[in-house]
């Protein structure tokens, strides 16, 4: 096993623990980030957000110093059936006793104007802001090789 692979495996295992809101209602599981290449100007992050609370919550925004602009995005089909990525202005609903999956081809966190490359084995610190649960800090591991269907 190469040193790079060993470091990535350690980081992935160490960071596999979920992040929680202060009140315990929101839990972030299995986050990962990727970019097209180390020279890319944009990247994305994906995760599962679990709401253990008795009322719906909403992910309103995300902040990180990893990019000049960080936003919530989704994909929609236009009148010609072409998929387009657009900003999510009203946030992402996380229903009570349910979850929201941020995944490739759907809702996700978009990083534009990266301030540093997304390199395998490193982490991207972000702060997710929820309407009710408040801020949740998450260190998102960079996994550029994760394939579709695995989140």
The model's pTM is: 0.82
Interatomic CA distance for residues 68 and 54, integer angstroms:
35
Residue (of 9, 123, 26, 129) closest to 66 by Cα position: 123
Residue 146 belongs to a domain: no
Residue 27 belongs to a domain: yes
Residue 82 belongs to a domain: yes
Domain limits at 123? 3-141
CATH at 25: 2.60.40.1890
Residue 120 belongs to a domain: yes
Residue 56 belongs to a domain: yes
Residue 72 makes CB contacts below 8 A (sequence gap 6+) with 59, 61, 62, 87, 88, 91, 92, 107, 108, 109, 110
Structure confidence by residue, pLDDT tens digits, 44-102: 999 999 999 999 999 999 999 999 999 999 988 888 888 889 999 999 999 999 999 99
């Amino acid at each position: 096993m190469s040193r790079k692979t060993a470091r990535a495996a350690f980081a992935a295992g160490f960071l596999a623990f979920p992040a929680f809101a202060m009140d315990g209602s929101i839990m972030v599981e299995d986050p990962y980030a990727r970019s097209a290449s180390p020279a890319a100007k944009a990247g994305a992050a994906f995760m599962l957000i679990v709401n253990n609370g008795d009322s719906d919550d909403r992910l309103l925004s995300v902040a990180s110093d990893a990019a000049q602009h960080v936003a919530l995005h989704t994909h929609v089909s236009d009148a010609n059936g072409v998929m387009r990525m657009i900003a999510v202005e009203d946030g992402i609903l996380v229903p009570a006793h349910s979850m929201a999956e941020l995944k490739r081809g759907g809702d996700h966190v978009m990083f534009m104007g990266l301030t540093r490359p997304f390199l395998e084995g490193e982490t991207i610190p972000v702060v997710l802001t929820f309407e009710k649960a408040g801020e949740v800090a998450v260190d998102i591991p960079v996994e550029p090789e994760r394939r579709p269907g695995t989140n």
